[in-house]
Amino acid sequence: MEKLNVAIIGASGGIGSAFVRHFAGNTSANVLAFSRSGTDFDLPNVQSHTMDFHDESSIERAAKVASESGSLDLVIVATGILHDDSLMPEKSIRNLSAESFEKAFRTNTIGPALVAKHFLPLLKKDERAVFAALSARVGSISDNRLGGWHAYRASKAALNMVLKTISIEMAMRQKKTIVVGLHPGTVDSQLSKPFQANVPDSQLFTPEYSAEKLVAVIDRLTPADSGKVFAWDGLEIES
């Protein structure tokens, strides 16, 4: 049986590491785990490598490393930023800053776009292959009824547009390649920690549960789904 060749970008994060462990459970899978720290998973079918998501030359080097394992079946970009020590989602336009927008777009939009630039050519050309990036429901313009979170919403909406645009190009060049955004739900991770107080327990997912549900979504995708964004439950999220 030919091995399933999978690359996980952002493998040290909550969902990223859950993806790595999920695919590592498949003995016929070869998992390439990329993160800034090069997290060692100590699993026989996982190869851990470093990648600085904010440095295109590092992304390019990572793609060359990935190419040594042969053509890829699946690439998942499991990165994202909502807050850090100097960044919090805005509640009002009074809180807007160029720095917040630059940081959000660098990680949530530009990084995945550059990964696509260097990793899409590694996907299998004549067989079904998937490039997926974690997006968010709040990136939907038509679904925005609460406002706020300006930089994060805008960066995820921009990511969705990048994925849609890439999907159109890939449809002309590699008809079996599927490009999608994935909404993981509210996951118990560092990204969501400050915002979990009002989330019902039934709607707060473990990284493992979210990864399992998203893999089920990926498995059902067809080329007709390329360019779209899907939630963890398989339902399409409108732009």
On whether the CB atoms of residues 161 and 42 are closer than 8 A, the answer is no
Amino acid at 25: G
Residues 6+ apart with CB under 8 A from 141: 157, 239
| Model pLDDT, residue 202 | 62
Whole-angstrom CA distances from 138 to 96, 127, 157, 159 are 17, 33, 8, 12
Q: Among 97, 194, 108, which residue's Cα sits nearest to residue 153?
A: 108
3-state SS, residue 67: helix
DSSP assignment of 101-143, as one string?
Answer: HHHHHIIIIIHHHHHHHHHGGGB-SSS-EEEEEE--GGG-STT
R_g (Cα) of the chain, nearest Å: 17
Angle at which helix 150-173 crosses helix 98-105, to 10 degrees, equals: 30
User: Residue 41 carries which side chain, given as an amino acid letter?
Assistant: F
How far lies 163's CA from each of 127, 181, 222, in Å? 20, 7, 15
Burial class (CB in 10 A: 0-12, 13-18, 19+), 42: exposed
Cβ contacts of 117 within 8 Å, gap of 6 or more: 59
Q: What phi and psi, each to the nearest 5 degrees, are found at residue 181? A: -105, 150
- pLDDT tens for the chain, residues 1 to 239: 578 999 999 999 999 999 999 999 998 999 999 999 999 999 999 999 999 999 999 999 999 999 999 999 999 999 999 988 888 999 999 999 999 999 999 999 999 999 999 999 999 999 999 999 999 999 999 999 899 999 999 999 999 999 999 999 999 999 999 999 999 998 876 665 565 556 666 678 999 999 999 999 999 999 999 999 999 999 999 98
Q: Which domains, ranges and CATH numbers included, belong to the chain? A: 4-231 (3.40.50.720)
- The verdict on pTM exceeding 0.85 is yes
The C-alpha atoms of residue 163 and residue 170 are separated, in whole angstroms, by: 10
Nearest CA among 12, 210, 191, 159 for reference residue 89: 191
